[in-house]
Amino acid sequence: MIKTMLVEDEKIILEDLLTIIDWNAEGFEITATARNGRQGLSYFEQYDPELIITDIRMPVMDGLAMLKSIKHIKPSVRFLILSAYNDFEYAKTALRLGAQDYILKTEISTQYLHKKLTAIKNSMNEETELLYAAAEKRLMDFISSPQTATADVLDKILAPLAALQLPAALPHILEYIVPAIQKHYEDMKIPDKFTLPDIHTFSGLAQWLLRELQSITQLGEQIFVRHYSPTIINAIEFILKNYSDPELKINTIADHVCLSAGRLSTLFKKEIGKTVNDFITETRIDEAKKCLSSGKYKVYEVSEQVGYKTSQYFSQVFYQYTGQYPNQYRRGLE
């Protein structure tokens, strides 16, 4: 049900709006009615409606002033404007300020209102689906790099979903998050370390997810030390300490571990399952994600910090590995 508030100073029009259509059957719940913009603003803070149907011209505070104030507080609120024919210029102003649509009072009917409400409901559902899809991608990216996961980034991902206050939101998210976490344990050959969570709130989800990713990182480090040869561990530690050097090459790493470049390449591929260059690039991209997520650095600064001589080349490599350019990735976290 979409929480809806009606704001109209003319009693007869307000009563008509309340009775001309079966609001619940349409999927809308009238949570409040107000007689002017000031009262509407007060009730908005109290009832937090998702849709406001309002007259433009009202005493004390008009609809435009209320719209501006509410949009400043919560831009996602939808507005459907009630307008008299001679107020059409005000209605156009309301549309420029972010109202979704308007209705001429002289044209109000059951069929006409049904059409307008259906369009708004469909639009809201589409936005919700897009929000879910974007959040799913961001969460999967977040989970894929446990060592760079932070509470700040997770809050930015979950907050818009929690704000929807939809009962199905949390179960929907858990459907794809839980298997992704479970796969980390399976990939480390320790599936018995995973237990199904008992989560009922978004805050509980955040706490569990951060705890699991921290555990995965720690277990991964222990398994890493146990499973790889001292030479390869030495090579990886050298890469992790020197990935910001744009001159880092396999020959330098090979000299450090006292092997030929060819021999190191063969051993690295055999034990790690990827080439030295791929490992260097993945390390740089993971660190770049962390820097971009902090919001503290410009793209060229991140490029320099992770070992690329030009931001253009860095952007190309980042796109190849993530499917997004650095600025797109950062905007997706805002």
User: Which tokens in the block code for residue 180?
Assistant: 């992704």
Eight-class DSSP state of 6 = E
pTM above the 0.75 mark?
no
Please provide the distance, in angstroms rounded to a whole number, between the alpha carbons at the two ends of the chain.
28
The closest of 68, 69, 95 to 81, measured between CA atoms, is: 95
Place of tokens 């902090």: 294
The pLDDT profile of the chain, 334 residues, written as one tens digit per residue, is: 899 999 999 999 999 999 999 999 999 999 999 999 999 999 999 999 999 999 988 999 998 999 999 999 988 899 998 887 767 777 788 888 888 888 888 888 999 999 999 999 999 889 888 888 888 888 888 888 887 788 888 888 888 888 777 778 888 899 989 999 999 888 877 888 888 889 999 999 999 999 999 888 888 777 776 778 889 888 988 998 899 999 999 999 999 999 999 999 999 999 888 899 999 999 999 889 888 887 788 999 999 999 999 999 999 999 999 889 998 888 776 5
Q: Are 68 and 90 in contact (CB under 8 A)?
A: no
Residue 123 has φ and ψ, to the nearest 5°, of -65, -40
Rounded to 10 degrees, the C-alpha dihedral 106/37/96/53 comes to: -50
Alpha-carbon span 98 to 100, nearest angstrom: 6
Alpha-carbon span 300 to 280, nearest angstrom: 19
